């Protein structure tokens, strides 16, 4: 017991550990202790987590920027392809119009050529049938003349007719110049 009396004798009353009845002071002390513990234990982890989150966000932003740049490049490439396709479409349209006009011109020239050949054929056909008709008329006239000549020869020549034939031959001889 002596021990107890020594501890109590050296410590003054109301100093040391005990129950503090002032709630405001107690809350401030408790809050300071909790904040110190949280800052000392959780602060390093929290700052590490925040640093990792910062790195992740920066990486995500860089990737998003890179994807945006790639998307812009693809958009520019697509625009270039669209312009190229428009130019090709115009070229194809112009070539189609040119070919169509050439084909029309070709058809017109072929049609004109056929018409000229048809006109030539018509002229040849008309000429052939004219020659045929002339030949038939000639043959008819010759046969009629030959028939009359035969009649005359068979009947004999009378004096007037004999004089006409002789005059004809005499006139032919006088026109002859060698």
Condensed to tens digits (0 to 9), the pLDDT of residues 69-113 reads 999 999 999 999 999 999 999 999 999 999 999 999 999 999 999
Residue range 57-81, pLDDT digits in tens = 999 999 999 999 999 999 999 999 9
Q: Domain spans of the chain?
A: 28-175
Average confidence (pLDDT) over 164-177:
82
Handedness of CA 99, 104, 107, 108 (dihedral sign): negative
Q: How far apart are CA 128 and CA 121, in angstroms?
A: 10
For residue 13, give the H/E element and its range: none
Q: Over 70: is that where the pLDDT of 3 sits?
A: no
pLDDT at 11: 46
Q: How far apart are CA 128 and CA 130, in angstroms?
A: 5
Q: How far apart are CA 144 and CA 48, in angstroms?
A: 139
Residue range 8-55, pLDDT digits in tens = 444 455 556 666 667 777 888 888 888 888 777 777 777 888 889 999
């Amino acid at each position: 017991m002596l021990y107890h009396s020594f501890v109590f004798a050296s410590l003054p009353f109301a100093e040391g550990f005990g129950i503090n009845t002032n709630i405001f002071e107690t809350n401030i002390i408790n809050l300071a202790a909790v904040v110190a513990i949280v800052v000392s234990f959780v602060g390093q982890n929290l700052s590490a987590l925040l640093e990792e989150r910062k790195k992740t966000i920066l990486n995500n932003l860089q990737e998003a920027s890179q994807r945006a740049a790639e998307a812009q490049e693809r958009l520019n490439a697509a625009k270039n392809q669209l312009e190229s396709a428009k130019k090709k479409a115009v070229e194809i349209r112009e070539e189609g119009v040119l070919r169509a006009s050439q084909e029309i011109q070709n058809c017109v020239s072929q049609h004109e050529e056929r018409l000229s050949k048809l006109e030539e054929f018509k002229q040849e056909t008309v000429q052939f049938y004219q020659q045929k008709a002339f030949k038939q008329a000639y043959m008819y006239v010759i046969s009629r003349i030959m028939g009359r000549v035969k009649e005359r020869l068979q009947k004999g020549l009378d004096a007037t007719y004999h004089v006409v034939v002789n005059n004809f031959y005499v006139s032919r001889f006088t026109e002859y110049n060698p």
